[in-house]
Amino acid sequence: MAPTVFKSEFAVNMTCSSCADSVRSTLSGIDGIDKIDIQLPEKRVMVEGAVPPSTIFRALKATGLATVLRGQGSTGSANIGAAVCIFETFQGAKGWAQFNNKGLARLQQVDEQTCLIDVAVDGLQEGHWTAAVHTLGDISKGIESTGPEFAELGSFEVGPSGRGDLVAETSKLKVWDVIGRSIVLSHQPTSGTRIPLIAGIIARSAGIFENAKRVCSCSGRTLWEETTPF
């Protein structure tokens, strides 16, 4: 079986030609990348090759430039499945929902075996956080009504800015298995158990490159642009 060829689009906060040169130099050193297209005025980087988006994402972040995954596709992945989860904040693990849009989680089934996970959230407490799919899509009683954990998505660190992001691939779940369930974000202190604080319901979505719906008429951003911090 031929390897999956990923086609990924990133928003990278490049401000000058030196930034663009740094991005190109970093990506050119990664084996498996076939094509790099950098558009400085639009702060856009397109990458094509047999390299998972999470690997490219980490490499771009290592340059020190703010980076967001804006879109992703792959060979044979057209309309295979996509989902989105908009988070709500809760007052403690047993609290009732108080809506406060902190960010999004996006899931894209890039091939039959691989699900791409992209979480971007602002306004979080500094420290270690985890993301997991829970069995139920019921947030009527806050986190406690989302049921037991269904699948762990990964962990990420939040710095002083309060922004956290997670880009990863997993073969442990499929998009069509998690529609209608929930994603819960938990803060985990250095010593102590996880404190679930943020959750949202997973809904079916168009593909990342296909969704042109506006989240808010104020910003004019589409669903897949909403997490871009610049």
pLDDT in tens, 173-206: 999 999 999 999 998 887 778 888 889 999 998 6
Q: What pLDDT shows up at residue 87?
A: 87
Is residue 163 assigned to a domain? yes
**Structural domain ending residue among the three candidates 57, 74, 91:** 74
Q: What pLDDT shows up at residue 207?
A: 59
Token pair for 62: 């290592």
Distances (CA, A) of 116 to 46, 74, 80, 97, 113: 17, 11, 12, 28, 10
Q: What pLDDT shows up at residue 111?
A: 80
Q: What pLDDT shows up at residue 206?
A: 67
Residue 229 has pLDDT above 60, yes or no: no
* pLDDT band at residue 213 under the 50/70/90 scheme: very low
In degrees to the nearest 10, what's the CA dihedral of 32, 84, 45, 65?
A: -100
Query: Residue 191 class from Cβ within 10 Å (0-12 exposed, 13-18 middle, 19+ buried)?
Result: exposed
Distances (CA, A) of 86 to 92, 187, 224: 18, 18, 12
Split into its structural domains, the chain has a count of 2
Is residue 215 assigned to a domain? no
146 and 192 within one domain: yes
Is residue 223 assigned to a domain? no
198 and 146 within one domain: yes
Distances (CA, A) of 225 to 72, 75, 79, 127, 141: 13, 23, 20, 25, 30
Q: Pick the more confident residue, 161 or 213.
A: 161
How is residue 214 annotated by DSSP? B
Lowest mean pLDDT among 3-12, 91-100, 167-176: 91-100
196 and 165 within one domain: yes
Identify which of 104, 109, 106 has the alpha carbon closest to the alpha carbon of residue 80.
109
* pLDDT band at residue 97 under the 50/70/90 scheme: very low
Is residue 222 assigned to a domain? no
Residue 222 has pLDDT above 60, yes or no: no
User: Which CATH number does the domain housing residue 196 bear?
Assistant: 2.60.40.200
55 and 30 within one domain: yes
Identify which of 80, 77, 75, 79 has the alpha carbon closest to the alpha carbon of residue 2.
75
Residue 67 has pLDDT above 70, yes or no: yes
Instruction: Tell me the helix, strand and coil percentages in the chain, rounded to 5.
Output: 10, 45, 45
Query: Which residue segment(s) compose the domain that 120 sits in?
Result: 82-204
What is the mean pLDDT of the segment spanning 132-156? 92
**Structural domain ending residue among the three candidates 25, 47, 74:** 74
* pLDDT band at residue 76 under the 50/70/90 scheme: low
What is the mean pLDDT of the segment spanning 100-111? 78
What is the mean pLDDT of the segment spanning 36-65? 91
SS3 5: coil
CA–chain centroid gap for 184, Å, is: 14
Residue whose structure tokens are 């430039």: 65
Q: What pLDDT shows up at residue 101?
A: 47
89 and 65 within one domain: no
Q: How many Å apart are CA 122 and CA 100, to the nearest integer?
A: 11
Residue 92 has pLDDT above 80, yes or no: no
What is the mean pLDDT of the segment spanning 45-68? 90
* CA angle (46, 115, 170) in 5-degree steps: 110
